[in-house]
């Protein structure tokens, strides 16, 4: 994979960027994911073939971006997303496409990029998972400064949640009040998602101020939504926002 590096807020960030017409597509990966994933790659390839501008990135400490993953927080990664979009994109308008945690980050970045937003696409968006995704004993450990390790269904190593990430997430909760975004929003969610309940997309749809919000439930779809038909749905959905 061909990628470049740039400096955002003193951190080296890996990216892939292709110029083209707008609105530009910006893909935000999930927790411990990166721009080499199947959905990000499919979006980039589609944009390249269609002559659309597209930006992929790895958050600091993830994928090809150097740094310590333990230093990562939503606030830190949002600063990188916003800075990179403002520094790199040629088109005036953009569509943010957020997968899982990237769907939470999408909302945070959208608040700062509102004037340039054409729309948002969430894929099993997981806002506020530091609140609903942990039991009381795990929250107590995190609040005490400890790291919580969980079995990883997608790899051999356990998935860590660091105390700083959790604490920052608790300061960035989105579903507690109206979300002041007015652009079109499309939310895709697999009905067999074992990680993010379908209810979260429904709560998000209700919280968004925008009158143009649609939730698509995918029968048989799991959390990753990476089957051929799932990716085709993603591309159709992203292309529909102009």
Contact of 106 with 127, CB cutoff 8 Å: no
Burial (Cβ within 10 Å: 0-12, 13-18, ≥19) of residue 155:
exposed
Q: Which residues contact 85 (CB under 8 A, 6 or more apart)?
A: 26, 55, 94, 109, 113, 116
SS (H, E, C) 109-166: HHHHCHHHEEEEEEECCCCCHHHHCCCHHHHHHHHCCCCEEECCCCCCCCEEECHHHH
Q: Given 33, 65, 223, 230, which residue is catalytic?
A: 223
Q: Given 60, 193, 201, 230, which residue is catalytic?
A: 193
Contact of 53 with 18, CB cutoff 8 Å: yes
**Which residue, 128, 113, 119, is CA-closest to 186?**
119
Return d(Cα 170, Cα 200) in angstroms, integer: 16
- Active site annotation includes 223: yes
**Which residue, 118, 111, 37, is CA-closest to 74?**
111
Contact of 181 with 188, CB cutoff 8 Å: no
Q: Given 100, 168, 189, 230, which residue is catalytic?
A: 100
Residues with catalytic function: 100, 193, 223
């Amino acid at each position: 994979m061909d990628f470049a590096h740039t400096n955002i807020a003193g951190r080296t960030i890996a990216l892939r960027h292709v110029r083209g017409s707008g609105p530009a597509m910006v893909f935000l990966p999930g927790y411990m994911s990166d721009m080499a994933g199947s959905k990000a790659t499919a979006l980039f390839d589609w944009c390249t073939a269609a002559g659309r501008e597209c930006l992929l990135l790895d958050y600091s400490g993830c994928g090809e971006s150097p740094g310590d993953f333990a230093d990562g927080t939503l606030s830190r990664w949002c600063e990188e997303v916003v800075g990179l979009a403002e520094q790199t994109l040629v088109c005036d308008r953009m569509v943010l496409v957020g997968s899982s945690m990237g769907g939470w980050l999408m909302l945070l970045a959208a608040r700062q990029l509102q004037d340039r937003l054409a729309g948002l696409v969430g894929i099993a968006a997981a806002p506020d998972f530091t609140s609903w995704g942990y039991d009381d004993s795990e929250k107590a450990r995190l609040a005490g400064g400890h790291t919580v390790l969980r079995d990883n269904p997608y790899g051999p190593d356990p998935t860590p949640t660091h105390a700083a990430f959790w604490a920052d997430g608790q300061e960035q909760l989105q579903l507690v009040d109206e979300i002041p975004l007015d652009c079109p929003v499309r939310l895709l969610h697999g009905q067999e998602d074992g990680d993010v309940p379908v209810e979260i997309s429904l709560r998000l749809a209700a919280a968004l101020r925008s009158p143009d919000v649609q939730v698509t439930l995918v029968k048989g779809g799991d959390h990753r939504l990476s089957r051929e038909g799932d990716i085709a749905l993603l591309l159709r959905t992203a292309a529909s926002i102009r």
